[in-house]
Structure 1
Amino acid sequence: METSVAIILKRCESIPTAENYIGVDKGALTLARNGKRMLLAIGDFDSVEESDLAYIKEYSDTLLQLNPIKDDTDSEAAVMYAIEKGYQKIHLYGGLGGRLDHAMINLRLVSRFPETVYLHDQNNFIYSLAEGVHSIDKRDYTYISFFTEDKATISLEGFKYPLDKQQLTNKDTYTTSNEILEDRGIVTVHAGKVTVIQSKDA
């Protein structure tokens, strides 16, 4: 089976090219209006009209309408569905901007599922790394920053500001706005896990 899926959230400004799609709430409507077939349309759909919901059904293999009174956000429910179906790379689009509480949940999903959940917008690419040695492509991003929700120990090679077995805590901010010198850099996570933000100015 395909191992990658794109999850389109409410505020997605453009639709990426992907083999598989999951639409979340208004993200499902965006996919339907652009003629994109979905594996799943999921959400409470309290922000779409009844006629829109019928239209979404036409373009989805499965439609799961959630109770608006629930513990999980729509994006979390979509991610958990994708994980249960065996998808190894889950790309979230439209999960930044808008409501800050929803953006925080999406950032926590990235941290919770290292090397599995990736968060994208026009200027940022966000993911997390577990213990191990990782080769990071610069792509077209100018800056790269590292954070941890708890504690981590990392080394950076091929960066403007290298590190050697540096211990980080969730209070540290000096790992912001680093730069990859060439095409790629090497990040070694000796302990813990780190959230990586590759970014560029708008």
Structure 2
Amino acid sequence: MTRPLILVTPATTVIPDVHGADYAAVDAGLLTLTEQGINPVFACGDFDSPKTPLDPCDVPEGCRLLRFPAEKNESDSQLAVQEAIHLGYDPVILTGSLSGRIDHTLANIRLLTHHHPGLILTDKEQQIRLLPPGIHVVTREFQHISLFALELSCISLESMQYPLDHRMVDEADIYTLSNEVAENEEKGIIHVHSGRLLLVQSNLP
């Protein structure tokens, strides 16, 4: 039986409360978890930040520490996601992954689109996930709903403010920006007939 894993990064400001989930830390995200009284199943990173040096006392009992050199090809988040998937967690939710440095955000998006399509990227007010072919439901949890094709794709949108019917979209299209669930509807339906798209949801103005 699979269960969710919340991966807490150093940029995390709000730790999601997901029923039945375990928690793990990316680098200094370990301190964020322990300050909230949450014991992670593992912590992964180089722990080289001079602002948040790792003290052995910071590692809770039962937390497996995966320490890597600072000079490496993979990011700390990538290594943590790989470990989570190896352990069988699903979904893996990477928090704070859309905050901070833009190059880190882009790296996290590439981690989603090119390596781990089941990954969910979140911060306090936003979420990104990948939509493969199939029927997907969106709710009013987020106000703004945008879609960006990763390849030539065919989609239909139902119960949305701006509906579509078997519309072809490609990587250059941006008119699928900033949609929302239609008035008097509780949920919207995204039917991906073919292709892959990024679903970007936000509550920011």
CA contact (8 A) 2:161 2:180 kept: yes
Q: Distance in 2 between matches of 1:138 and 1:149?
A: 25
**1:15-26 alignment to 2 at 5 Å?**
15-18=15-18, 19-26=21-28
**1:1-202 alignment to 2 at 5 Å?**
1-18=1-18, 19-47=21-49, 52-59=54-61, 61-112=63-114, 113-114=116-117, 116-139=118-141, 141-181=142-182, 182-201=185-204
Q: Distance in 1 between matches of 2:154 and 2:52?
A: 51
TM-score, reference length from structure 1: 0.91
Secondary structure class of the residue paired with 1:35 = coil
CA contact (8 A) 2:150 2:195 kept: no
Q: Distance in 2 between matches of 1:65 and 1:4?
A: 23
Offset from partner CA, 1:32-55 (integer Å, 9 cap, x none):
222211111000100157863313
Secondary structure class of the residue paired with 1:38 = coil
The AA in structure 2 aligned to 1:197 is V
Structure 1 residues without counterparts, runs of 5 or longer = none
Q: Distance in 2 between matches of 1:58 and 1:117?
A: 26
Q: Distance in 2 between matches of 1:51 and 1:68?
A: 13
Per-residue deviation at 1:174? 0.5
Distance of aligned partners of 1:30 and 1:98 in 2 relative to their CA distance in 1, 3 Å threshold: same
Q: Distance in 1 between matches of 2:105 and 2:81?
A: 14
Q: Distance in 2 between matches of 1:159 and 1:7?
A: 31
CA contact (8 A) 1:23 1:31 kept: yes
Distance of aligned partners of 1:147 and 1:20 in 2 relative to their CA distance in 1, 3 Å threshold: same
Offset from partner CA, 1:61-115 (integer Å, 9 cap, x none):
210011111111111111111111111111111112211111011122333433x
Per-residue deviation at 1:166? 1.4
Q: Distance in 1 between matches of 2:175 and 2:51?
A: 47
Give the alignment's Cα RMSD to 1 decimal: 1.9
Q: Distance in 1 between matches of 2:133 and 2:58?
A: 40
Secondary structure class of the residue paired with 1:52 = coil
Q: Distance in 2 between matches of 1:39 and 1:65?
A: 14
TM-score, reference length from structure 2: 0.90
Q: Distance in 2 between matches of 1:13 and 1:60?
A: 24
CA contact (8 A) 1:26 1:48 kept: no
